[in-house]
Chain A
């Protein structure tokens, strides 16, 4: 089955219904930009596996994709990397959505490269009770079309935790002909000057505070992005489980359910919750979307 063809069509058809459910219509691409015959969920024997998988399955369900295969390596990749090598050989042509710990991720990226894998995105996700920003997500994506940060931001913003999401896009030019001025609902958005533009979306904190949190120097050279483009956004289907939300966002990206690809080399969402619901325990994991 061709995920992008069949299910994107389903997704487009279902767009109205999803909008009613609260899923933003803009998350669907106008055209499929990637093709994969088969989607595989790889669980690296991490304690977040189950919750991440729930999010992935929710995304699959929303686009009507019922062909998701799941694989797991008991004991993790450090115990037997040979199993992963075999699996990579057996799944040529598949799009992998993977989750694992940092150590396994270092091995996975290497073995994926050796297998000729094309890396669409790799994300590092962390929660910490004691940090100024309890939830942090850092992505490297091939292009903004593969960015999962927008979807994740809209799912997290109502969940009651402060968070930061940063995305770096290798091919910042790919979205040059697409939307350049987009403002996420609930965020005040800014664009930095220069050829390697950065888009920064702040919620609950000022531009200066947002920059400081991300380690960006000063507020010189930033211009606001008008908010009119975001009027259609409706966001209500947040999951209280942040790991599940990450799984959803990563899978949504893998399945071609896109956030608007902004024309920038990097993008960040920063949200400060004033009445945090609960402080999450320390958890860390890495996500991948890779075509093998």
Chain B
């Protein structure tokens, strides 16, 4: 007999699921419970090399209040229906809006999009989970607050809650987003509402200014996890600096990454360069200016010769270091001398200021990201090869030149084995580097899709064998990455899960936790 639903949660009968749907409708309204294929299709398409059918939701719920969510988790507990929470669902190469497992119900918080508070003196914001960076950006502009945001690359359409909970990064001095998180409201699986840190104290006015509260610090367990549903999120905003000086430094050879990192590390740790510096490979920047097919056709990874030609045609270095100075003009002048002296020593670096870079599209979007402006230009990556396949490979490296060179060489070798290009960048953290590689492939090509899966699997295996952990991954590989961190951590994660969500209704499979 044909089902009324396009998918069902694992181990839930159609009758039982239909009863749950009826109760969801009673709570959020008929129009806010999506079950038809046409309504759910926008939640399904992924960029991963696995069938979209593996990630098809059974329904989507559009909640608007905390009280609704409390009732929703009650229904989920009764019928053992799992839900997959999204704030905006724009994780793209990390998994899009589709749930980790077929049949999970998407709890879409996009309608919980109120900006609850922006304090221009203490420089913080408190927002509901569905607020986007663009909303907040417009709000700050309208109120003429001298505040800057720190956004990830899909700035305008992503949101601070989802990005921070997935431990995403931006490109300003506040770029390590979770470092600047301050206070969450969380609906637990039993329906209780927890406010972390100072938020638990009645009448407290320090929820968004003091992170730690009293007792064990809890905020961290609600990131990259499935222990609760974060409905409100507080975070700090950067005061707009009086002056801002973005720049790019180009290098010609891949081995120069050693010199770059060794030069940057002391500047970053000492705070001379305060922001999350990016060291982008030519193939990461080229898509803003060219298409792959302009240079190569046929199977196999792009050749070094073709990369050289791209660099020449589009005025790119093989490494392009984007950074900025922030502060008063006097501070910037002093720090600029320190930076230029440091990078000029070897004679390999080509330093370009904003004026010298002109209207270069790669520089323009990088400069926008470093001042927290809205831009979507990094999405040009998806046109490089085309075909809709993308997975972010994101191992962490020490901020040490020899390590970054080793990681780059390993990645390029493994990608090349499967005919895929190295489109990578390093984002410099406080003492680490997020090595970010967009594994781009053509999802219309079955052979390449299969190769992309095998390639990603091998990348994770080889890197973990070398002791390199991945900080974030798409939903198809969450179990594999969780496994690389060993049995003890997995056991602790599972123990917490059992304690906080005994029926396993919240996002089973997230970060490999069930």
Candidate in B53, B386, B449 with the most chain A CB atoms within 10 angstroms: B386
Q: Which residue of B lies closest to A117 (CB)?
A: B42
Q: Are A114's CB and B110's CB within 8 A? A: yes
Residue A103 at the B interface, CB < 8 A? yes
A138 with B380: CB separation less than 8 A: no
Is A237 interfacial (CB 8 A cutoff)?
Answer: no
Q: How far is the CB of B184 from chain A (nearest CB, A)?
A: 23
Check B386 against A102 for contact (C-beta < 8 Å): yes
Closest residue of chain B to A215 (Cβ to Cβ) is B446
Assuming the A-B contacts A107-B379, A126-B442, A140-B44, are A171 and B388 also in contact, with contact meaning beta carbons closer than 8 angstroms in the complex? no
B45 contacts chain A at the CB level, 8 A cutoff:
yes
Q: How large is the interface on B (under 10, 10 to 19, 20 to 34, 35 or more residues)?
A: 35 or more
Q: How many residues of A contact B (CB 8 A)?
A: 52
Tell which of A81, A122, A128, A213 touches B156, judged by Cβ atoms closer than 8 Å: A81
Q: Is the CB of B44 within 8 A of A81?
A: no
**A215–B134 alpha-carbon span in the complex (Å):** 41
B443 touches A124 (CB 8 A): yes
Is there an interface contact between A103 and B379, defined as CB atoms closer than 8 Å? yes
Q: Tell me whether B89 and A102 are in contact (CB under 8 A).
A: no
Chain A residues whose CB sits within 8 angstroms of the CB of B314 once the complex forms: none
Query: Which residues on B sit within 8 Å (CB–CB) of A286?
Result: 388
Contacts of A215 in B (CB 8 A): 446-447, 449-450
Contact of A130 among B40, B298, B381, B386 (CB under 8 A): B298
Question: With A and B bound together, what is the CA distance between A174 and B5 in angstroms?
Answer: 10
Return chain B residues, CB-CB under 8 Å to A277: none
Contact check, A113 vs B43: say whether CB atoms are below 8 A apart: yes
User: Contact: A142 with B36, CB < 8 Å?
Assistant: yes
Q: Is A282 an interface residue (CB 8 A)?
A: yes
A257 to chain B, nearest CB (A): 18
- The verdict on A137 contacting chain B, using a C-beta distance below 8 Å, is yes
A63 at the interface (CB under 8 A from B): no
Q: Tell me if B237 is interfacial: C-beta within 8 Å of chain A.
A: no
Which residues from chain B contact A213 at a C-beta distance below 8 Å? 446
Cβ of A131 within 8 Å of any chain B Cβ, yes or no, is yes
Q: Nearest Cβ distance between residue A143 and chain B, in whole angstroms?
A: 6
Q: A170 contacts B444, CB within 8 Å?
A: no
> Known contacts being A117-B42, A120-B38, A173-B2, is A78 close to B444, with CB within 8 Å?
no
B37 within 8 A of A: yes
Judge whether A219 is part of the interface by a CB distance below 8 angstroms. no
In the complex the two chains form, is B37's CB within 8 Å of A143's CB? yes
The reply to whether A110 and B90 form a contact with Cβ atoms under 8 Å apart is yes
- A176 touches which one: B2, B379, B387 (CB < 8 A)? B2
B446 touches A214 (CB 8 A): yes
> Does A38 sit within 8 A of B, measured CB to CB?
no
Mask: chain A, 107-139; 1 = CB below 8 Å from B; 0 = not: 101111110011110101110111100001110
- 10 sampled A-B residue pairs with Cβ under 8 A: A106-B379, A107-B379, A142-B36, A170-B37, A170-B41, A170-B56, A174-B2, A214-B446, A282-B293, A290-B42
6 closest Cβ pairs, A-B complex? A215-B446, A173-B2, A113-B42, A119-B41, A284-B386, A142-B37
Identify the B interface with A (CB < 8 A): 2-3, 6, 36-45, 47, 51-53, 56, 88-90, 92, 97, 110, 134, 156-157, 293, 297-299, 376-377, 379-383, 386-388, 442-447, 449-450
